[in-house]
Amino acid sequence: MQWFMDQLFVDRDRDLQHEYASPLRREDLSGIAPATIINAQHDPLCDHGTLYAQKLRSQGVPVVHTIYGKALHGFFGSQLGESDEAMAEGATALRFAFGLH
C-alpha cells in the first residue's frame, strides 16, 4: 500500500491529511450526496469502506454498503466472481442518482 500511495502523492504524509484523499478525515459529512459503497471482502481497503459507511450513516447521510464476500481488490469490472453483481449494483445506484429509474 505504501508503494501505491507514493505513486499518487507528492508528499504522502502531508497529502493524505487532506479530506479529498481521505474522506474519513472530514469531520462534517452531513449534506453529502447519498452513497453506494461497494467493497471486496478480501481487500486491504474493505475496513475503510465500512468505517466510511458508518460515519456517513451517523451523520444522516443515506448509504448502501455492500461487501462482496468472495471478491478480491480490483474485482469490479473484472468479470470474475461477483463482479457482474457489483457492476449491476453500481449501475442501478447511478440510474437512481440521475433519476433514470
What pLDDT digit, counting tens, does each position of 22-77 carry?
Answer: 888 899 998 899 999 999 999 999 999 999 999 999 999 999 999 999 999 999 98
**Do 53 and 65 form a contact (C-beta atoms < 8 A)?**
yes
pLDDT confidence tier of residue 81, bands split at 50, 70 and 90: confident
AA identity, residue 9: F
Q: Is 60 buried (19+), middle (13-18) or exposed (0-12) by CB count in 10 A?
A: exposed
Answer whether residue 5 shows pLDDT above 90: no
Task: Determine the Cα–Cα distance for residues 71 and 58; give it in Å rounded to an integer.
Answer: 27
Lookup: cell for 25: 478525515
pLDDT value, residue 16: 85
**Do 32 and 61 form a contact (C-beta atoms < 8 A)?**
yes
Q: Is the dihedral of CA 59, 63, 69, 73 positive or negative?
A: negative
